[in-house]
Structure formats: C-alpha cells, structure tokens
Amino acid sequence: MKIHEFQAKEILANYNVPIQRGYIVSDANHIEHTISKVQSDFDSDAVVVKAQIHAGGRGKGGGVKFCSTSEKASEAANEILGMNLVTHQTGAKGKLVNQILITEALDIKKEFYFALMYDRAKNADVFIVSTEGGVDIEEVAEKSPEKIIKAWVKEDTYPLADAINSVINTLDLSSYDDAFEIFSNIYECYSKSDCNLLEINPLVLTEDNKIIALDAKVDIDSNALFRQEIIASYHDKSEEDPLELKASEYGLNYIKLDGNVGCMVNGAGLAMATMDIVKHHGGEPANFLDVGGAANVDTIKNGFKIILSDPNVKSILINIFGGIVRCDRVANGVIQAVKELNLNVGVVVRLQGTNAKLAKEILDKSDIDLVSAETIDDAAKKAVGMVL
Amino acid sequence: MSILLNKETKILVQGITGSEGLFHSIQMLDYGSNIICGVTPGKGGETVTDNNIPVFNSIAEAREKFEIDASAIFVPPRFAANAILEAIEEKIKLIVCISEGIPISDMKKVKNALDKSDSILIGPNCPGLITAEESKIGITPGFICKKGSIGILSRSGTLTYEAIDQIVNVGLGMTTAIGIGGDPIIGSSMIDILKHFAQDENTKGVVMIGEIGGNMENEAARWIKENFDKPVVSFIAGQTAPKGKRMGHAGAIISEGSETAEAKIEILKECGISVAKTVSEIGETMIKLVGE
C-alpha cells in the first residue's frame, strides 16, 4: 500500500528521524494561515509547497514549488491545490491534487539518494545509496551505475552496523556524530512498520550540518496491515482506480488496462497468460482479473460487473480451470450471470478441468448467446475475432 | 518414481480442523495421501474425517505417538509463519505451506530459520505438490494427473494445473508437479526443485513455468545451462503486464528490467531452453523435445 509523503514523514518522525517539517492543507481557505504558521513555527521565511499524490516526478510536473515570500507561497499553493498534476508516473490523465504539504525551506549543502528494500536474490534487506541525490535514480542507474552503492543486512550474515558504516562512508558523513543513529533509526522504522520500500530522495545535509529527510516515499506490505493500525488508516482511496477499488471490495483482483478484450480468469498466473495470448492473436487485453480459486456464480457475476464498467470492452473471454470447483457448476454460474446482467457484448467461454465436457454441453445447449471454446488458443482467437 | 513425495510419505496437517484444512484433507485422503494426524492448538484429543484422524495441540505432541515425514499447512496467514517455524523446529523434512498473504517480514524470519535447518519448505502461497497416482499435499486437483515421465514446476497454481493437463493430454504423463508459490519470499526456488528432478531417474523432462517479478527464472536458466541435461520447456506469464503493478501474486511485480517476461524469455533462450510462445503450447513443445 502506498502512502503520501507527509504520512511517510510522520512515520519517520516517530522513529526520531529528522524530517523537513511542515503542515498539510486540503482546504484552500487554510492556505494563508498555514503559510504563516510554517514561517513562525519553523523560523523559515521561504517555504516549499508540495503536491501530495502517489506518484513520482512531482517536481518536474510543476507540483513542487520553492517560494521565497508569503505572497509567492500563497500563489503557488492556490495553483497546486486542486490542479490536475501530470507526471511520468501518473500517465497522461494525471492526478487531482487534493492535499498539499507546506514545509520549511532548508539551505542544502549536499543531496543524497537513500532507499531501503528487500533483495529477493540475497534474502536480505538492502540499503541503496548514492551521492547523486534529488534526481531520478533510474537515470543515475543507467548513466553512472558505479555511483549507486548497496549494503546488505541479514541476521547472522550481514550485520546492520557494517551496512550503516558502509552507507556513512559512501556518503562521506563520518564526521557527523548523529549519522549512525539516524540510519539505525531509519532501519528500525523500515522493519517495524512492515515497509516493502522506504525511499528518501533526497536525504540532505544542510548548510548548518544537519542530516534531514527532505522527501519520503513508503510502500507498506498490505499483508501486514492487520498489525499496523495507524498506517492502515493512511489508506487514501482517492488515489486508486475506482474500478480496482470496487473489485477489491468484491474480493476480486482487477487491474485495468487499455485494450478492449475483457478477461475473466481464475488464478493470477493463468490470468496473465490469458492476457498474453489475447495479445499474441492480435488483440489488446482490457484488464487483468483473477476471480480466485473458487469461481462461483457470485464471483463470476461481480467479475462481469467490473469488466463491463469499462466502456472500452467489446468482448469478454472467460478462462477457468476447474479443479476443486467443477466446470459444470462454473458453466451454470456463467449462464445465470449472463441472463441476470443482460450482456450486450460477445462472451467466449473456455472451461477446462473436472467435468469440462459436461460443461461444454451445458453451454452449447443453453439459450443464451455465448461462444464456447475447447482450448485457450481457440478461445483467444474467437474473443479477438469479435473486436476486429 | 517421483520427487519429495510418494504414497508412503507420512503426512501431518497443520490447521486440520479449519474449513480449508478439513476440506482439503478429505480431498487428499481420497487421492491416497497417507495423512497420519493433524494439529490445531486447543483441539487436541478430537478426531476428524471418516478415517478418524487424530488431532493434537502441537507437532511435538503428535511426534510422541507418530513418525511424521511431511507437514501440510492450512493456517490463516497471520499465524502461518509461526506454524512453519514450529514445523522447522520439530525437524519435519518436508513442509508445504498453502496459505496466501503472509507478511514479508514474517517470511524473512522463516527463511533464516530454514537456512539453518534440514527442512525443505514448498510455498507459501502455492497449490502444493502432487505425485501422480500416489499422493498429494495441497490443493491440486488429483483427477487431471496421470503417471508418466515429466516433472512440472511453477510459480502459479492454475498454470500448474494447465501444464499438467496439457502434458497428460499429449500422452506424456507426469512424475511430480510442484507449485512453488507466488510470493516474493518462498522456501524452495526453481533451482532447488530442479536439483531433485535431476536425481529422479523417472523424470525425463521438466516443464518450468515462471512469471514476471524477481530473477529466479534467470538464475534457473543459467543453472540449467551448466548443470541440467534433461529437456526443459519453459513458459513465462506476464508479457502484457504493466510495470510497477502487482499482478495478483505478491511477487509478480516488475521493478527492474531483468524482471520482465521479455528479458526472462531472452535469457532462457540464450541458455538453450525451449520456451512455449503461448500458454497453450506447453504440451506440444514438450512432445517435440522428448518424442511420443
């Protein structure tokens, strides 16, 4: 689960990690007051206005502005709050800015890149740091990979202290007494908050020699939210695709794509493979949809509702491997759902597994308009054929 | 023959009194799996199923009465890591965890304990394994399997079934099929399983199904090139998956270039492995390699 910058900074601050301080604003009427509060509370005439959306590249998109005076700050805040921010990560549609963070401005001596994540290959946590901070790290990785340094942490194998010392040496921070404590606090924050990713870009050294998190991006392990009550409350539904949100309420796993062949499949791997074969036959999948292992009338009906909420969809391919759930029951479920929902797009059904033959007979004999197929290949061709 | 599991394997089910655990225990028994007993804390002394399978409070209690080779775990995700740790502590040789949704930080602890033990963990977030016409641990539908000469390993559940079905339909049949799980941290990697298949005389070829996310397929491809001389057919799901989106499985997310389906397919091919172009060509591709 992604959270906003100001929320990530709150978590960091709870672990005594120094952050760039500020206040959040969601109502334009509070802009003036908040600016002066930031100025007086943090003794900073200049302030920074930062759009709070779950996407990177906010600065380049015009969603982060340094303002030397109250007037400029007010102008920037009014412009950014409510704007539709387009960055390389939001897609062309952009994202509506519902909240802005107004912060103190700091005099920066050096900017670093800092991240903590899990390295699957080494089964260890890994610090990733670079002296090239504040810029797109992917660019650094491409142009000068030698400037990105990794240090691993694993019980019994790679001690935390070694990793932190390596980070400190890489960033040339060994003369700063509090550096070790700050990095161990960040690691503690990462571990105890069930973070998949904790990225600070940039982490800065100020002119008055303080190490401060200027930005923060955190991705929390959704499977651990049951024990992270406060963080769970940070969930911002407005950041999610409304269809994906609705699907998750139905207990379905749905991701919207740009094509027009809707896909309904059981199992994540088979769902991806089905999208791929649609593409292979010249079509474009409209979505990823995993209805789960136990495909029944309700999950199929809800699946149809979600797929059909996407106006681009011109045909639907149902690909279910009936294992424990018998195909004849899935077939009856499909027929019932199609009847109840009054579909007006073509539906191709491929059921394989227990009682697959019986299921095909049931589909072929039914009085509703759908096409049955025996193999995925055949099914994909038919579903693509309907939209071409 | 087979790998890891046969009809003699003595199985304990953790979470046997839960609805999932009980349902699949009955399915497993129907298939011929040798379930000896179950464990549910607080339910010790009860019996379940028509076979009167005894239930114990802990694996330690169960071990006082029975010899156990393998454990099947059907436990809610927030308790599943502790269930695995208990099985490791009790030195169960083969541990199969079906549960989906275990927090990553819990699995880090499991992985560390596993590294120091002799136990083999399959999963979590997997369908388990099945040795055709002998035994199954997990949720794979048994009726689609037929004995034969092909080993199957996959990160995905329903793609495992799809591969089994195609391998049986082209007339080859299978030794053992293993779903290794869709999570970022799993007990056994592709290479771990390939090592078992390498030693099994009856396995003449292997189907290896991967997907986007992580670099396990790439490591397996390079390992196969150097160490594995049986024919391998691979398939990688997720060619149309967008970057940065989690595609159902917690581990199926592209975060760097080498984790895309294209990159994996290229590496597999470079290592001399046959890659099925689409999911429907897995069976045909294998028969071309090993003959009828």
pLDDT in tens, B204-253: 999 999 999 999 999 999 999 999 999 999 999 999 998 888 888 888 88
The alpha carbon of residue B32 is apart from the nearest alpha carbon of chain A, in Å, by 16
Mean pLDDT of B11-34: 95
Q: Does an H or E element contain A219, and which?
A: strand A217-220
Q: Give the C-alpha separation, B196 to B93, whole Å.
A: 14
Q: Which of A168-172, B38-42, B239-243, B261-265 has the lowest mean pLDDT?
A: B239-243
Q: Which of A5, A104, A199, A239 is catalytic?
A: A199
- pLDDT per residue rounded down to tens, chain A (388 residues): 999 999 999 999 999 999 999 999 999 999 999 999 999 999 999 999 999 999 888 998 999 999 999 999 999 999 999 999 999 888 888 999 999 999 999 999 999 999 999 998 888 999 999 999 887 888 888 888 899 999 999 988 899 999 999 999 999 999 999 999 999 999 999 999 999 999 999 999 999 999 999 999 999 999 999 999 999 999 999 998 899 999 988 989 999 999 999 999 999 999 999 999 999 999 999 999 998 866 677 888 899 999 999 999 999 999 998 776 778 888 888 888 888 888 889 999 999 887 888 888 998 898 888 898 988 999 999 999 999 8
Nearest residue, CB atoms, A269 vs list B144, B158, B280: B158
Nearest CA in chain A to B240: A276
Q: Is A345 exposed, middle or buried (0-12, 13-18, 19+ CB in 10 A)?
A: middle
Q: Choose among A116, A145, A118: nearest CA to A216.
A: A116
Tokens of residue A378, six digits: 């055949």
Q: For the stretch B204-232, what's the b/e string if a residue is b when 16 or more beta carbons lie within 10 angstroms of its beta carbon?
A: bbbbbbbbbbbbbbbebbebbeeebebbb
Contacts of A299 (CB under 8 A, 6+ apart): A250, A251, A252, A291, A292
Q: Which of A5, A104, A113, A254 is catalytic?
A: A113
Check if the beta carbon of residue A377 is closer than 8 Å to that of residue A385.
no
Is residue A254 helix, strand or coil?
strand
Are A323 and B140 within 8 A, CB to CB?
yes
Check if the beta carbon of residue B180 is closer than 8 Å to that of residue B127.
no
Q: The pTM is what? A: 0.92
B249 is catalytic: yes
Mutation site for A-interface testing, chosen from B22, B105, B186 by largest number of A Cβ within 10 Å: B105
Evaluate if residue B71 carries a pLDDT over 70. yes
Place of tokens 């999570």: B183
Q: Which of residues 50-89 of B touch A (CB under 8 A)?
A: 77-78
> CA torsion, points A298, A299, A301, A303, in degrees to nearest 10?
160
Residue B292 banded pLDDT, cuts 50, 70, 90: low
Mean pLDDT of B104-125: 96
Nearest residue, CB atoms, A270 vs list B140, B156, B250: B156
Tokens of residue A116, six digits: 């903590």
Can you give the pLDDT at residue B195? 98
ipTM field = 0.93
Are B237 and A272 within 8 A, CB to CB?
yes
Q: Give the C-alpha separation, B90 to B79, whole Å.
A: 17
CB of B285 within 8 Å of any CB in chain A?
A: no
Check if the beta carbon of residue B284 is closer than 8 Å to that of residue A375.
no
Residue B291 banded pLDDT, cuts 50, 70, 90: confident
Can you give the pLDDT at residue A212? 98
Secondary structure of chain B in HEC code, one letter for each residue: CCCCCCCCCCEEEECCCCHHHHHHHHHHHHHCCCEEEEECCCCCCCEECCCCEEEECCHHHHHHHCCCCEEEECCCHHHHHHHHHHHHHCCCCEEEECCCCCCHHHHHHHHHHHHCCCCEEECCCCCEEEECCCEEEECCCHHHCCEEEEEEEECCHHHHHHHHHHHHHCCCCEEEEEECCCCCCCCCCHHHHHHHHHHCCCCCEEEEEEECCCCHHHHHHHHHHHHCCCCEEEEEECCCCCCCCCCCCCCCCCCCHHHCHHHHHHHHHHCCCEECCCHHHHHHHHHHHHCC
Cβ contacts (< 8 Å) between B261 and chain A: which residues? 276
Nearest residue, CB atoms, A255 vs list B184, B245, B279: B245
Q: Which of residues 147-206 of B touch A (CB under 8 A)?
A: 154-159, 161-162, 165, 182, 184-185
Q: Is A71 exposed, middle or buried (0-12, 13-18, 19+ CB in 10 A)?
A: exposed
The alpha carbon of residue A345 is apart from the nearest alpha carbon of chain B, in Å, by 23
First-to-final CA distance of chain B: 19
Q: Give the C-alpha separation, A111 to A172, whole Å.
A: 12
Can you give the pLDDT at residue A293? 66
Q: Does an H or E element contain A48, and which?
A: strand A47-51
Place of tokens 């400037």: A147
Can you give the pLDDT at residue A355? 83
Q: Which of B155, B196, B204, B249 is catalytic?
A: B249
Nearest residue, CB atoms, B214 vs list A120, A293, A321: A120
Nearest CA in chain B to A141: B256
Check if the beta carbon of residue B215 is closer than 8 Å to that of residue B191.
no
> CA torsion, points B256, B258, B260, B266, in degrees to nearest 10?
160
**A311 preceded by a cis bond (ω within 30 of 0):** no
Are B157 and A267 within 8 A, CB to CB?
yes
Are A353 and B165 within 8 A, CB to CB?
yes
Are B101 and A223 within 8 A, CB to CB?
yes
Neighbours of B123 (CB within 10 A): 30
Nearest CA in chain A to B247: A268
Evaluate if residue B151 carries a pLDDT over 90. yes
Are B214 and A257 within 8 A, CB to CB?
no
Are A276 and B237 within 8 A, CB to CB?
yes
Are A194 and B159 within 8 A, CB to CB?
no
First-to-final CA distance of chain A: 37
CB pairs under 8 A between A and B: 158
Cβ contacts (< 8 Å) between A268 and chain B: which residues? 156, 182, 211, 247-249, 252
Tokens of residue A388, six digits: 């071409």
Nearest CA in chain A to B215: A121
Can you give the pLDDT at residue B28? 96
Cβ contacts (< 8 Å) between B277 and chain A: which residues? 280
Can you give the pLDDT at residue A295? 67
The alpha carbon of residue B203 is apart from the nearest alpha carbon of chain A, in Å, by 24
Cβ contacts (< 8 Å) between B216 and chain A: which residues? 120
